Structure 1
Amino acid sequence: MDDVEAVVLVGGKGTRLRPLTLAAAKPMLPTAGVPFLAHLLSRIRAAGVRRVVLGTSYLAETFEAGFGDGAALDLELIYVTEEQPLGTGGGIRNVADHLTAETVMVFNGDVLAGTDLTAVVDTHRRTDADVTLHLVRVQNPRAFGCVPTDAEGRVQAFLEKTEDPPTDQINAGCYVFRRKVIDQIPAGRVVSVERDTFPGLLAEGARVWGHVDAAYWRDLGTPGDLVHGSADLVRGIAPSAALPGPVGDRLVLEGAELAPDALVFGGTTVGRGVRIGPGARVEGAMLFDGAVVGAGALVRHSIVGFGAQVHEGAVLVDSVVGDRAVVGAQCELRHGARVWPGVTLPPHGVRFSPDV
């Protein structure tokens, strides 16, 4: 698809992922051993797209610092910064002057998906659509905006979250645009493609199509989704050519030290220089570089930040420990507890609150 360009929207602040996003933009968080964005870029390149424009805003400089000009990924990367938040539609319009192709794929930068990108473009061209949306079927569409289509796949409406959704099809955050449609989005102001652009196109009678499948899909907007998405990448459930090792029950990066009797499984990522003590149990977790898990500790479906320490006998379940934080011996964190960077929790504490 040399005649197709990609736009990836990576400007969000990732507030639901704090404290992880205090020092890193959400798409740059280590996910299965590499920045999350690397997985998406690998899928884009595998589909034959070579030129990618990144719409940045929050911590914009970290993207170019991490990926440079894209040559290492066999891509050409262009960086365009929003000076103020413009929404999804405004963010797309903001990069328009840097586009050169007539067919443009647009991605939300915080979605982990496994759909066949070539098939989405094929649907767009076969139907002569102005815009094509990737729609994915989910078990509980009530939590998302629904997008019903007719028998041919033409989009009928865009519906907000409802208790009685008429379809299980939701907007999966991947689109194919005719270039002229992007140019028609108002410039320099906040525009939502979901609330403004797409409903406006339907009202005008434009050809808006859906490419529907049941491929892997997960929005990585919360710590729970991030840790489960990372585990799915490690286990090969979610596809990626960027995984820095073979798929399996765990991914252990160089320099990590695991005690012989430590149990590490469930798609856990063990970062560089991590140390895991005797008798520790680490299940479906993300341990960032330099983290330490003490003897007999339990870390389940949780994230331990850069250089953070979880002392002996501590319990972490569905929790987040920020960079360089310390969880004291026998301390217990559950139900979404979050420890801010640099905080030290004394031994034997029990925390169920969201923030500590």
Structure 2
Amino acid sequence: MKALILSGGAGTRLRPITHTSAKQLVPVANKPVLFYGLEAVAAAGIVEVGIIVGETANEIEEAVGDGSRFGLKVTYIPQEAPLGLAHAVLIARDFLGADDFVMYLGDNFIVGGITELVDEFRTDRPDARILLTKVLDPSSFGVAELDAQGRVTALEEKPEHPKSDLALVGVYLFTPAVHKAVRAIEPSHRGELEITDALQWLIDTAHDVRSTTISGYWKDTGKVSDLLEVNRTVLESTEPLVEGTVDDASVIIGRVRIETGAQVRGSRIVGPAIIGADTVVSDAYIGPFTSLSEGCRVEDSEIEYSIVLRGSSITGVRRVEASLIGRDVEVVPAPRNPAAHRLVLGDHSKVQISS
């Protein structure tokens, strides 16, 4: 069995961060989102992985390399434009060959991994298995309809009027039957080859398409709010560890990881939180669910429930929260305008001014 991981999207919902960085490489708890997917694939016993790459190909390849650090063998498959999930399957035909495969969206995050799902698929081998979860706004996702027996009867991509609250999670399992399906469909009104249309073709042609509804944690990390929520979830399982230095004037409370070379001076850190390698925290407050990447500096400031990327500094800022701060950013106080009152008063006036 092989894996096909999609990392070619532009990440428009995460701009301006994704103007200069691949969305799949934005870190959660100081680890790129893509790495969690690669680790899940490796844990499921899959070795051969194809990664679909687009305009951020160089950055993805530099970060992942040949995959050996994850115990994987990685092949990169260029996609000239994000033309749909089914298009990714289409262009990966030579790599996939006649093997079953799992398709994993590189910006998705699933707690608990996919090992159980892969094992079940290997045993039962339906033509396709999709993962579903209940969501509040299904119009933003592919949506599935099930019959009374729980079988998939219909799928629709981002419907204006959803017929259920069951959204497709970004993990799909296929036999080679899907290759005929992706060749049979036409581009949607969005100009993309939709994987929902390919799945519908399989259903309409009497193929075996099954679903698993998951109740565990899943997020598409395409928005800042979702990234912060995933960061919170991962940090909740952080084990306390101090590999850097903490002076006697500092207070560390709860599950806090302070990585090699980090320095904490005269500060209060309330976990769960991560202080990255070679980061300096001085006379500051770091609140829960905060990840500071390597080489950052937080001085005379307060920050909470945020992600700060490599090499950024926050100095003299009273409070920052629920924020995603990119690489090599400087956050400083705005200059204060002098307080003054300009008056033209007539004779015998009396004026009260709040000081």
TM beyond 0.5: yes
Provide the C-alpha distance between the structure 2 equivalents of 1:119 and 1:197, rounded to a whole number of angstroms: 25
Q: Is the partner of 1:39 in helix, strand or coil?
A: helix
Pair member with larger Rg: 2
Pairing 1:227–2:228 present: yes
| Residue 202 of structure 2: aligned partner | 201
The partner residue of 2:328 within 319, 324, 332 is 324
Pairing 1:262–2:268 present: yes
**Kindly tell me: are residues 122 and 45 of structure 1, through their superposed partners in 2, closer, same or farther at Cα, counting changes over 3 Å?**
closer
Provide the C-alpha distance between the structure 1 equivalents of 2:179 and 2:171, rounded to a whole number of angstroms: 14
The partner residue of 1:35 within 32, 35, 42 is 32
Which stretch shows the higher mean deviation, 92-101 or 153-162? 153-162
Q: Tell me by how many angstroms 1:115 deviates.
A: 4.9
**Kindly tell me: are residues 81 and 136 of structure 1, through their superposed partners in 2, closer, same or farther at Cα, counting changes over 3 Å?**
same
**Kindly tell me: are residues 116 and 69 of structure 1, through their superposed partners in 2, closer, same or farther at Cα, counting changes over 3 Å?**
closer
Provide the C-alpha distance between the structure 1 equivalents of 2:40 and 2:98, rounded to a whole number of angstroms: 19
| Residue 134 of structure 1: aligned partner | 131
Q: Tell me by how many angstroms 1:76 deviates.
A: 0.7
Provide the C-alpha distance between the structure 1 equivalents of 2:126 and 2:182, rounded to a whole number of angstroms: 17
| Residue 176 of structure 1: aligned partner | 173
Pairing 1:67–2:73 present: no
1:11/1:58 contact within 8 Å kept:
yes
**Kindly tell me: are residues 22 and 264 of structure 1, through their superposed partners in 2, closer, same or farther at Cα, counting changes over 3 Å?**
farther
Output the aligned Cα RMSD: 2.9
**Kindly tell me: are residues 205 and 100 of structure 1, through their superposed partners in 2, closer, same or farther at Cα, counting changes over 3 Å?**
closer
Matches for 1:180-329 after TM superposition, within 5 Å: 180-186=177-183, 191-236=192-237, 249-265=255-271, 267-295=272-300, 297-329=301-333
**Kindly tell me: are residues 270 and 18 of structure 1, through their superposed partners in 2, closer, same or farther at Cα, counting changes over 3 Å?**
farther
Q: Tell me by how many angstroms 1:163 deviates.
A: 8.8
Q: Tell me by how many angstroms 1:161 deviates.
A: 5.4
**Kindly tell me: are residues 101 and 234 of structure 1, through their superposed partners in 2, closer, same or farther at Cα, counting changes over 3 Å?**
farther
The partner residue of 1:88 within 66, 85, 90 is 85
Pairing 1:53–2:53 present: no
Which stretch shows the higher mean deviation, 72-81 or 318-327? 318-327
1:327/1:347 contact within 8 Å kept:
no
Q: Tell me by how many angstroms 1:80 deviates.
A: 0.8
Fraction of identical pairs, as percent: 28
Provide the C-alpha distance between the structure 1 equivalents of 2:158 and 2:82, rounded to a whole number of angstroms: 24
Return 5+ residue gaps in structure 1 as ranges.
238-243, 330-345, 350-356
| Residue 14 of structure 1: aligned partner | 11
Provide the C-alpha distance between the structure 1 equivalents of 2:222 and 2:62, rounded to a whole number of angstroms: 23
Deviation per CA, 1:148-197: give whole Å up to 9, x if none. 32354421222455798554432111111111312542399764334421
